[in-house]
Structures are given as C-alpha cells and as structure tokens.
Structure 1
Amino acid sequence: MTFPVKLLRRSRRVLLPALVAASALAPWPAQANQSNHLGAEGGGRVLVRTSSGWVQGKATDQGREFLGIPYAQAPTGALRWRAPKPAPGWVGVKDATRFGNNCPQSAFWIPGYEKDQTAEDCLDANVYTPPATRHTGKLPVMVFIHGGGNVGGAGRDIVPDTFARRTNTVVVTFNYRLGAMGFLTLPGTTGNFALLDQQAAMRWTQANIARFGGDPARVTIAGESAGGGAVCTQLASPTSRGLYRAAIIESGAFFDCAGKSRKDAVSVGLAFAAKLGCTHPATAADCLRAKPAKDILKAQQGTSIFHEWNYTIGGPELPLQPSAAFTAGRASHVPVMNGANSNEGLSFTYDSFDRFGHPLTAGAYPRALVSAFGQTAGSRALAQYPLGAYARPDYAYAAAFGDQLFACPALRTDQRLSPRGRVYTYEFADRTSPLSANLPQHADFDFGATHAAELNYLFKPYGLAAHLNPEQRALSAQMTAYWGSFLHDFVPRAHMQQTMPEQSAHPGYVLQLRTAPAGGNATTANLRAVHHCDLWDTAP
C-alpha cells in the first residue's frame, strides 16, 4: 500500500510541553515515613520509597504527583544504542516535584519547543495518584505513552492529574528515546531502543506502582498517535507479555502498525551513519557514539517520520509485523480499546499547505492525491472525494488522508484482533472540539474532530485544561467514564450511555462520541462506507 510519506515528512503532530526542569537531590527530611508506600503528607509534600530510593512528590488540589523519577540509566556514552539498564540507586531523597529532561529532539513551532533539546539523561517517569482519601486498596493503573511522530514529545505532554482523580486510578507517563537515538538499527545493535525503553518503564511500573497505591495486576498500557502506535507494537512484542493486562490505542493504528524489515532498517541506519562520517558497518555504532547529540539531530533534518524512525521487525522483541502477529494469534490476548477521530487529516493538511500560506487549490487537488497515494489510488480517490462534496479542496484532501491513514487501519486492526480477545471500538466525532495549543487558535480553518482532539476531553495537553462549554463538559465526563471503566474492569461503560461495542459480539459496530446537540453518543455500523475503506483496504 502506498502511504503519504511526503506529507508526513512535513507534518509532525507532536504534543510538547512548555517547561523544562531537572530533578535534583533533596536533604533527608527528619519526618520521613519509613514505609515503602505513600508516606506522610505535610506542606504539600509526600514521600515514597521506590526501588532506587526515596522520592519526594507534592500534593495538589487534584491528588499527588511525582515527577522526573529515573526508571533507567542515562543512555549516554557506551549505553547509546543499547538496551536500557535499570536506574541506579541514590542516597537521600530525590526531589520529584519537577519534570526531568526531554529526550533529544529538534526544534518545532510548539510552545516550549523553540530550541533543539540535546540532554540524553532523560529516561524518567511521572506518577499521578488521586488524593489520599480516595485510596481504597490498590487502584488500577494506566501507563500512557506520549505521541510525537517517534521524533518528538515527552511524558509531560499529557498531564492526567484530573483524570486520575475522576477515575480513581494511578497514571504513569514517561520519556523514551526518539528519532535516531531510539530507532537507529546498525550491524551489531538490536534497534528498537524506544520499544525497549517503553518496556523498561513498564517493568519499573510493575516493581514500584504498589508503593504509589497502584495495582500491578491491573495495568493498562495506553497511548495516542505515535504513542498509540507504540501500544499497537507492544501488543505484538513477546518481550512485553505479562507487563500489562489491557491496552488502549488512540489514533495509533496508522500503517497497520507496520515496522521496517531488519534489512531495510540496517540499510537506513548505515546511510544515516555515513552522513556523519561513520562509513564502516562494523564500527558505525561506536563511531556514532562519539558524536555529540546536536550532530545527531542535525543529521536527522530532512529525514521522513516513520520511514527512517520506526520499529524494526525480525528480532526477539518484535519477530513479526504487528498485523501478522494479530492475524496469527501471536500477540497478547488482552482486552483492547481502539479508536480514531472522524477528521484526523485536517491538522496534517493544514500543516502541509495552509500553515505556510499555500492553501490547496482546486487545480492542484488531483496532483496532490496522486502524489500522496500513487497514480491508481489517487485517481480512484478523486472520484470518491469529489471537490463538490467539500467546502474547500483542503477539506477534501484531509478526508482522504485521514481515512487512508487512520480510520480504515483502525477498523482493520479491530478485525484482526477480535477473534482472539475482546476489542471495544470508538470514534471521536465532536466537530465542535476546542483546539489544542499546538494548533493556531484563530486560523481560517475548520479543524473539527481532528488528530489529537480527543485529548482535550480526557487530559490536559501541555498541562492546559481546555475551555469546554456545558455540552462539551458533559461529553468529557462521559469519555472519562468510558476510559475509567475500562481501566477498572476492562469494559468501557458510562452512566446512562451505551456500552462501547465489543467486536466479537457486534462486529463492525463503533461508538461515535459526540455532544448531545450533535446527536449524542451512538453506535453505527457504517464507518467502513463513510471512510471509503473499500478503496483504502485494496489500494496498492
């Protein structure tokens, strides 16, 4: 199948934070609680003893948060392009009231991301819990993997403190290596360092989450965009088995969760190494380990997202393409909640055309479709997405892009997973959704239920709570209930709302999430037709 890689090269839907801070050691407090679990709270501070040492978090009006806790050693020097090692212990109490470093990534137009970030000591986790009075035994846990096109973002991008309080769950976010640092494959290396970092964070969660009030037997992995793709990939990874009991994929089934063959990955890796003067395959990895992070980032410029920087298929941690593993039953048989947004392609299309003052014209529309999808599929798409059906050429292109890349792969993934486990399906379809901070707030562009729009209804992207009207607040409460119910008992329910359809019982049915004025939440069985999946499922 032809994918719109050219568009993705220019369009990175990353959620990036506004603040940078590093964790530091604090003196041992005389009043430290000697328990391994949540310690005494005073002056807004709270203590927990992790497997590496004590951490001091803080109490907020939403609950408790512990930020910037190392879950692995800094992947620097000889540890670059090697599997992560457990975090070393420390003496005293580590300050866990500030986020740690973001992993290396290039500058972008997102607020707080105006400069390259090169700190490699970045493998940190953040833990959010409800208030102490909400703790009733061990709580379900969600480990959320951030998005960013495999080249950007950080665990701090999603602040789930209100979500943790409302759902009475514990939530973990974390950083993992990105771009070349996380996905480069060379002779003598395993590749998949981002995937291995994610598994290291899951193992840290298994070892430590009970100390924060969480239940290690009820861990759900979740993620959006590239984070959702990571969840999809982890389901197919034998080395992640037993680290979680359920999974949530938000807009993450793009490319059918496909990775690169090891042969292709090594070829890409050697070409990248050659750009930095490391031309001998046997010594390329050691040669690159001597290069500054800023040089690695500079060499990444102009590379395509997900083509160079994607998971490698063929090793012990990922022996099969995820789609093949799902079809063959060689994936984790856990309950899955999977969905996408109804207008995913709008933000990508804006970034590729309108953001730079060059809206797509009617005359250029046919060529744009062929350029993105190839001659055969592009020509067929012209008939399926006629300009007369859309207010602007940009919107027609966005519909094709979103259907091809997100909507139809999500529906195909449902079909592959459902014969061997429970799969619950949704589509976020609130066209009145407020814009995230990574989108221009006053652009002459209707973003609708675009990529990442659902995050405003669940969390605080960039730490900012979206301004929701009463109808949107009601939908937010319903969505939070669906997600929270799934975390608690692996069935997504909400009070006085339809239960999210399960595919083995209701094949092809999807719950559309909408505000009451737009018809409210309702199941539908016609999304394959709405998104023209007969075209995209057979496109070469």
Structure 2
Amino acid sequence: MTFQTTSGRVRGRETVDGVTAVLGIPYAAPPFGALRFREPRPASVWDGVRDCTEFGAIAPQSAELPGAPVWRVGDEDVLSVNVWVPERVGGGALPVFFWIHGGAYTFGSSAQPDFDGTALARAGLVVVSCNYRVGFEGFGHVPGFPENRGLLDQVAALRWVRENIASFGGDPGNVTVAGHSAGGGSVVCLMAMERTRTRGLFRRAVAHSVPNAFYTVGLAAAITERVAAQGGVDPTAKGLLSLSPAELVAASDAVAARCGAEPVAAIHAYDSVIFQPVVDGEVLPADPLRAFASGAARDVDLLVCHALEEYRFLHAVGAVREVTTEEELADFAEALCLPARLVEGYRALMPDASVLDRYLAVFGDAQFGEYTTRLAERHARAGGRAYLARFARRRGAARPWHTGDVPFAFGNLDAVGADFLIGGTPDEHDRALSRRMLRSWADFAATGDPGWPAVSADTTPVRCWGVPGDHLADDDGSGLRALWRDVRFGLLAPGRVAGRRSPGSSGG
C-alpha cells in the first residue's frame, strides 16, 4: 500500500490484522553539516515511491537497547516518523496518537519493540512515532544556536503530521501527543511552549512519569564547559562544531560518568543525567509547572500517570547512586532542598523499610510522582481538563517501577525486552490490565475521556492500575501528599557541590 506525502509517495508493509506500518519517513532534513545545531529544516522531495518498510537511523548516542537499532558513525538522516494505519471499513478520519520516546534526553528511539503501534492502531487510532535529536546534539548548550533542538524536532514532526496525516486516514484536528519519562517531559514542554509554535498541532496530551528536571541556561552552559573540556576544545560554537557527533557522544558520556564525584549541580551526585530541557525564555519560556499554573495550556486536555516505585528501576539498572545510611539520606535531602521533616515523615510511614528503600521512595516521588501529580492539579485549577493515574501493579517480585507501565498501555507485553520491564512473563491478569490501559489511551485520544473522573479545583481522583483489578482513590489516604504540601519545585541551576549541597533551585 502506498501513501502520498508532501515529499513524495511512500510504501509500507502490512503487519497483522490489516495494520500497515510505514516506517522511517523523513520529516526534516538531516541535522548535520551546515544544519548542525540549527532548527530543523524541511526534508527533500523524492521521485517515485520510497520504500518505508524499515525503521530509520537513530540519533547519535552510545546506548544499545534490546531489539532496537544502534547509532552508527555516518548515520545522518535521523529525523523520521513511523505511521501505523489500521484497516478502514467506512467512517471518517481517525484520531491520531503521536508518541515521543524517552531515554533521559540522551538515548532511545522510536524503534524500540515496546513502542510498536500495531495494537493501538487496531484499537482505532492512526499511530505516529518519531526520532529526534538527543544528547548534546539535541539538548546541549551551543552559544549562538537555539536551545532545546530536540523539542524543535518534535514540533517539526507534529507539523509533518498536520500536513500529511490525512493521507493515512488520520484527523489532523484530533491529535494526541504522548510520551513517557523524557518523552513525557517533552510533552509537557510542548504544552508550555509559546503557543505560536504549537497552536493547532495537538488538542490532547498523555504524559507518563514526567521528570522534575529543567535547567537554567547557566547550568546548561556549565555542562557544555565540562563537555568541551573533555573533548579538548573551547566551549564556543566553533569549538563544539569541530567535534564530530561521535566525539561529542564520547565526551558527554565521560562527563556523565564522573558526575557522582564531580557534580555540576547537586543532584548530579545522585543521578548523572546531564541533558534536560532548558528554560531559555524563547523556545521554552517557563518550566511546565509554572506555565500550567498560569493557564498557558488550558486548551489542551491532559492525562498524566506515574508509577508508585519509579526509582527502583533506575537503581536496578545502576543509574543512581546508592544511599544506605541515615547520614547519607540527610545529605541527599539537603542536596535536593527537601526539608528534614519530609524524610522523617517517610520514616514514620515506612517503619520497616531500609534506608535504601526510603531513599528510593523519596527520590521517586521528588523526581516523578509528586511532580506529575502537581502538573495535573495546576492544569485543572487553571481551567484545563486533567486526569491522573498511577501504575500500582505488583505480582510476585514484580514492582510498579519506571517504564513498567509502557508495555501495558501499548499492548506489547510480549515484545523483546518487555519481560524485564514488567518483571517476568505476563499472565492473564496482566493481559487484562493491558487491555484496560490501552483502552483508556484510545478513548482519551478519541473523546478526551479515559474513563474516570477528572481532577477538579478541590479533588484529585486517581485511577490506580493494578492486578487483579483497578480502583479509584482520592488523593491521598497514605499521608504522603501531606508531606509534600509545602515543598517547592524549581529549575536546576549550578550550585554548591562540596559537603552539604544545594542545587540552587528557584521555588515553584
């Protein structure tokens, strides 16, 4: 089957149940050579029919993920989209579900097996996913060049959807933008952007496990100084452009690996992710929490979700520093500007837990759980429509951790690598949960209603996803929310990093 795009005709391949996958369609020109570190430019046109039966090249990175392609030196045509088109039997245009992959703004791609859009397409959606620049190419500070180039790539991909998705049977006026982790952070950044950039590109948003991590320009520049020094160049546009993409990946990896001993901001002593969206006042005028509170995105329906034990996954893969003593836990809390009473509150609520368990619980709520929940509440109180869910599924040793919800919502429990993400082989209760979560995404994309009450100015109802069944809760009977009531979130900036540390956060 072939489809017409603004650049030329494309041919996909049939997957199952009549779904056609059209993969690796360029939405912008390769962002290298004269276009490196610049805003994305339109893709070139082609003659004839382009074969789009395989995923496109991925952005420069060192990660090698199960079942996914790796970046190879020389790969440059990295800005592509994939479209899954269900078999049509009459009816009008279908809702569009646009997926942004995660990966700490540093790695990942749309080709990861758990992001296959076939099951969602069978549920009645046209599914689109995209690759975008990650790491230094996408989020590193380069003097004289735009910040947040990875976000600008996503905007370009959404413009491609507006201009082309009708040819695939999708409704350009009914687009839901969605993502998890860095992808969820990207989603709320797109909502917080100056609306002249994104108005009309999407009407709904799904954001799972949104990280509380946004840089000042000063911190982004400090990271660049470290990366440039590691690469042996000046932290100028000329110096940075003289490093190849592979050299920048290597230099960035080396800086991240030393962050535990040489943090740029205090949080880097515990979590070495060195690239985040930059609140520059232009591409991203304000951090999402402040933007939502001001009503900047009240015209977009929002569905957010987080996992109950986010940081257990990051600890399991060795992505965070261990904290095992009360003194270390106190240092950690001070580094994140968390009050001592909060740490004491977790000790009271978790009397039998180890220091490590309490540390991971506080870290997970600080970076994902509480932040994600506040986004829904701020959005609702500013006049927007918001829904909140929590992934609470436990089975045996399987925990409700970061990324565990994604294969369930996509309907990809049997994908390569999914057994690790979900904690083993799925059973029938898991498959039933997957069907319920997938249906909530599909219904929200189609109608704006995922199937439970919205957050209001006074109440925060939460859908808790679990096995053997789900339940609706008022937030929050456990007492955790009360501990966070007066804790303020703000931007990450360079701060003192010796002894007891302060991240230099501004309030929010």
- 2:313 alignment partner, SS class: helix
Residue 447 of structure 2 corresponds to which residue in structure 1? Answer: 489
CA distance in 2 between counterparts of 1:527 and 1:143 reads 34
Report 1:239-278 matches (<5 A).
Answer: 239-252=197-210, 254-255=211-212, 258-278=213-233
Instruction: Name the aligned partner's letter for residue 81 of structure 2.
Output: A
1:289 aligned partner: 241
Contact 2:37 2:142 in 1 (8 A): no
Equivalent residue for 1:511? 463
The 2-side partners of 1:353 and 1:489 are apart by 38
Which of 337, 344, 347 is the aligned partner of 1:386? 347
Q: Does 1:522 align with 2:483?
A: no
- What SS is found at the alignment partner of 1:370? helix
**Cα deviations by residue, 1:367-402 (Å, 9 ceiling, x for unpaired):** 442343227747445423339634654433322221
SS state of the match for residue 198, structure 1?
Answer: helix
Secondary structure of the corresponding residue to residue 339 of structure 1: strand
Once the two structures are TM-superposed, the CA of residue 270 in structure 1 deviates from its matched residue by 4.0
Aligned to 1:410: 372
Q: What residue is the counterpart of 2:119 in the other structure?
A: 162
* Contact 1:107-1:114 within 8 A present in 2 as well: no
Aligned counterpart, 1:397 = 359
Deviations 1:90-124 (A, max 9, x none): 1121111101111111135x435797644232111
Structure 2: which amino acid aligns with 1:69? Answer: I
Identity percentage of aligned residues? 32
Counterparts of residues 114-513 of structure 1 (less than 5 Å) = 117-118=72-73, 119-133=75-89, 136-157=91-112, 158-166=115-123, 168-238=124-194, 239-252=197-210, 254-255=211-212, 258-279=213-234, 284-301=236-253, 302-303=255-256, 308-331=274-297, 333-352=299-318, 364-374=324-334, 377=338, 379-386=340-347, 389-390=351-352, 392-418=354-380, 419-432=382-395, 446-459=397-410, 460=412, 463-464=415-416, 467-493=425-451, 499=452, 501-504=453-456, 507-513=459-465
Deviation at 1:520, TM superposition (A): 2.8
Aligned counterparts of 1:359 and 1:78: Cα–Cα separation in 2:
43
Code of the aligned partner of 1:159: D
Q: Which residue of 1 aligns with 2:261?
A: none
Deviation of residue 353 (structure 1)? 8.6
- The structural deviation recorded for 1:278 is 3.0
Q: Match for 1:147: what amino acid?
A: G
Structure 2 residue 9 is the aligned partner of structure 1 residue 51: no
Q: Where in structure 2 are the equivalents of 1:27-106 lying within 5 Å?
A: 46-62=1-17, 63-106=19-62
C-alpha distance in 2 between matches for 1:141 and 1:278: 44
Aligned residues between the structures: 460
Per-residue CA shift, 1:417-454, capped at 9, x if unaligned?
Answer: 11221001111111129xxxxxxxxxxxx441111111
1:537 aligns with one of 462, 487, 500: 487
What SS does the aligned partner of 2:441 have? helix
Task: State the secondary structure of the residue aligned to 1:450.
Answer: coil
Q: Partner residue of 2:263?
A: none
**Partner Cα separation in structure 1 for residue 329 and residue 486 of structure 2:** 13
The alpha-carbon deviation at position 271 of structure 1 amounts to: 4.1
**Aligned partners of 1:272 and 1:57: how far apart in 2?**
40
Whole-Å separation in 2 of the counterparts to 1:322 and 1:204 = 24
SS of alignment partner, residue 171 of structure 1: strand
Counterparts of 1:505 and 1:328, CA distance in 2: 14
Cα distance, 1:103–1:481 mapped onto 2, change above 3 Å? same
Do the aligned residues in 2 keep the contact of 1:259 with 1:312 (CA within 8 Å)? yes
For 1:389 and 1:353, the matched residues in 2 are separated by 26
Helix, strand or coil at the partner of 1:410: helix
- TM-score if structure 2 supplies the norm length? 0.83
* CA RMSD after TM alignment: 2.7
Conserved? CA contact 1:428–1:454, under 8 Å: yes
The secondary structure found in structure 2 opposite 1:156 is coil
What TM-score do you get using the length of structure 1 for normalisation?
A: 0.79
Q: Structure 2 vs 1, CA of residues 505 and 470 (structure 1 numbering), >3 Å: closer, same or farther?
A: farther
Alignment partners' CA distance in 2, 1:170 and 1:117: 30
Does structure 1 conserve the Cα–Cα contact (< 8 Å) formed by 2:392 and 2:465? yes
Deviates more, 1:452-461 or 1:118-127: 452-461
> 2 CA distance for matches of 1:261 and 1:359?
27
Q: Is the 8 A contact 1:343 1:447 kept in 2?
A: no
| Partners of 1:183 and 1:528 in 2: CA distance | 38
Structure 2 CA distance for aligned equivalents of residues 220 and 115 of structure 1? 28
Contact 2:298-2:383 within 8 A present in 1 as well: no
d(CA) in 2 for partners of 1:528, 1:176: 39
- The letter for the 1-side match of 2:473 is T
Q: Which letter maps to 2:133?
A: R
- Residue 377 of structure 1 contacts residue 535 of structure 1 at CA under 8 Å; is this kept in 2? no
| Residue 353 to residue 270, structure 1, CA distance change in 2 (3 Å) | closer
> Is the CA contact 1:68–1:100 (under 8 Å) kept in the aligned structure 2?
yes
Q: Contact 1:65–1:126 at 8 Å: present in 2 too?
A: yes
AA partner of residue 259 (structure 1) = F
Q: Distance between the aligned counterparts of 1:123 and 1:381, measured in 2?
A: 44
**1-structure distance, mates of 2:319, 2:274:** 23
Contact 2:12 2:52 in 1 (8 A): yes
Q: Mark the CA change 1:462 to 1:205 in structure 2 (over 3 Å): closer, same or farther.
A: farther
Taking the aligned partners of 1:359 and 1:325, their CA distance within structure 2 comes to 34
SS at match of 1:260: coil
Unaligned runs of 5+ in 2: 257-267, 420-424, 490-504
The residue identity in structure 2 corresponding to 1:426 is A
Residue identity matched to 1:413: L
- 8 A Cα contact 1:366 1:382, kept in partner: no
Q: Is the 1:77–1:289 contact (alpha carbons within 8 Å) kept by the matching residues of 2?
A: no
Residue type of the alignment partner of 1:534: W
Listed one character per residue, the Cα deviations across residues 138-189 of structure 1 (whole Å, up to 9, x for unaligned) are 00001110000000100112112112202x0011011000110001222211
Distance 1:482 1:505, change over 3 A: farther
CA gap 1:150/1:536 in 2 versus in 1, 3 angstroms: farther
Distance 1:520 1:461 in 2: 18
CA contact (8 A) 1:142 1:171 kept: yes
1:80–1:384 distance in 2 versus 1, CA, 3 Å? same
Change (3 A) 1:318 1:236: same
